[in-house]
Chains A and B, each alone.
Chain A
Amino acid sequence: MTKGAFLSELHKKLSPFLTEEDIQKTLEFYSEAIDDRKEEGMSPEEAVDAVGTPSEIANRLLDETPVTKIVKKKIGKKKNKAVWILLLLGSPLWIALLLAFFACIAAVYVVGAALLLSLFAVTFALLLAFPAGVVFAVVVAVSGEWPAAFVLFGLGLCAAGLGLFMFLLCHPAIKAAFRAAAFIPKYIKSLLVGKENEQ
């Protein structure tokens, strides 16, 4: 790749996400790096190869760029007055929609937490069933009803067994919940940035 092609490719990859000022600074940095390497004796192609591919560079840079900067750039693209007025007029609508969107996301988190808590509650209740079963079995046995006592004891054992099984499920459930919780903000950012993956 020639230096010119490299710089214009890099410009293309960055222009949806960064301001022109930021992009110029980036291009200057890489142009300088290529020139320095050429001065040391590298051929133009070697120099361009050495600084990285435009995709690599753009991805690393965008990873470090906060979401707010990217959003600002995407909004600032149309500095048309008419658009701004429309935005203002429409604000009751899109503000309400935005709030609804975030409310839905919050609801997802709340439901997730509720499901997790329910899992714990059921596990705990089932595990408690065993000592409860023992106590009741003893009480019933003392009053002479041996068959009933055995049934109660057996039920207690079953419940405890189920409870232990649910307990084993708790740990993977927590891990999955945390991973899902972390995934949502990342997904939103990737919707904005929409990076291509070169593998």
Chain B
Amino acid sequence: MDIQLKRGLLDICVLSSINKEPSYGYQIIKSVSPYVEISESTLYPILRRLEETDCLTVTTDEYNGRLRKYYHITDMGKKRIAQFKNEWSEIVKIYDFIVKEEGSND
């Protein structure tokens, strides 16, 4: 997928994966991977960026005798997901335009 396109979508995907309940790094990758290619090296900068823009918070909890970081969504994060859903109809319009313009060249 185009890098620029992917970048905006991945932020929302990551937020969605922690929307219902907090999650940790590897679990986020497992839940997003079926839909979009993502690895730790892509995920970590995204998590940092989302934390800096107050879309999520981080806690460190104990698990099986070691420490694990859990990511929790904030109200700001939920707002961003809602914003994306609202923008979806605009995205569909653009897609229709592209398909239409392509068709007229046949």
- Interface residues, chain A, with chain B CB atoms under 8 Å away: 26, 28-30, 32-33, 35-37, 39-40, 50-52, 56-57, 60-61, 63-64
Residues in B30-88 with C-beta less than 8 Å from chain A: 39-42, 44-45, 47-49, 64, 66-69
| Contact in complex: B41, A35 (CB < 8 Å) | no
| Contact in complex: A60, B26 (CB < 8 Å) | no
CA distance A33 to B40 in the complex (A): 8
Measured between beta carbons, the chain B residues less than 8 angstroms from A57 are 40-41, 44
19 A–B contacts from the bound complex (CB under 8 Å): A26-B44, A29-B25, A30-B40, A33-B25, A33-B26, A33-B29, A35-B66, A36-B24, A36-B68, A40-B26, A51-B41, A52-B40, A52-B41, A57-B41, A60-B41, A61-B44, A64-B45, A64-B48, A64-B49
Which bucket holds chain B's interface residue count? 10 to 19
| Contact in complex: A32, B44 (CB < 8 Å) | no
| Contact in complex: B39, A52 (CB < 8 Å) | yes
Not counting A29-B25, A57-B40, a sample of 14 additional A-B residue pairs whose C-beta atoms are within 8 angstroms of each other reads A29-B40, A29-B44, A30-B40, A32-B25, A32-B69, A33-B26, A36-B24, A40-B26, A50-B39, A50-B40, A51-B40, A52-B40, A57-B41, A60-B45
Interface majority SS (helix, strand, loop, mixed), chain B: helix
- Interface residues, chain B, with chain A CB atoms under 8 Å away: 24-27, 29, 39-42, 44-45, 47-49, 64, 66-69
Measured between beta carbons, the chain B residues less than 8 angstroms from A52 are 39-41
Of A26, A37, A56, A61, the contact of B26 (CB 8 Å cutoff): A37
Closest to B25 in A: A33
A121 smallest CB distance to B (angstroms):
36
A164 smallest CB distance to B (angstroms):
29
Question: Known contacts A35-B66, A52-B39: does B24 contact A30 (CB below 8 Å)?
Answer: no
CA distance A57 to B64 in the complex (A): 27
| Contact in complex: A30, B44 (CB < 8 Å) | yes
CA distance A37 to B29 in the complex (A): 11
CA distance A51 to B39 in the complex (A): 7
| Contact in complex: A60, B42 (CB < 8 Å) | yes
Of A26, A32, A40, A63, the contact of B68 (CB 8 Å cutoff): A32
Measured between beta carbons, the chain B residues less than 8 angstroms from A30 are 40, 44
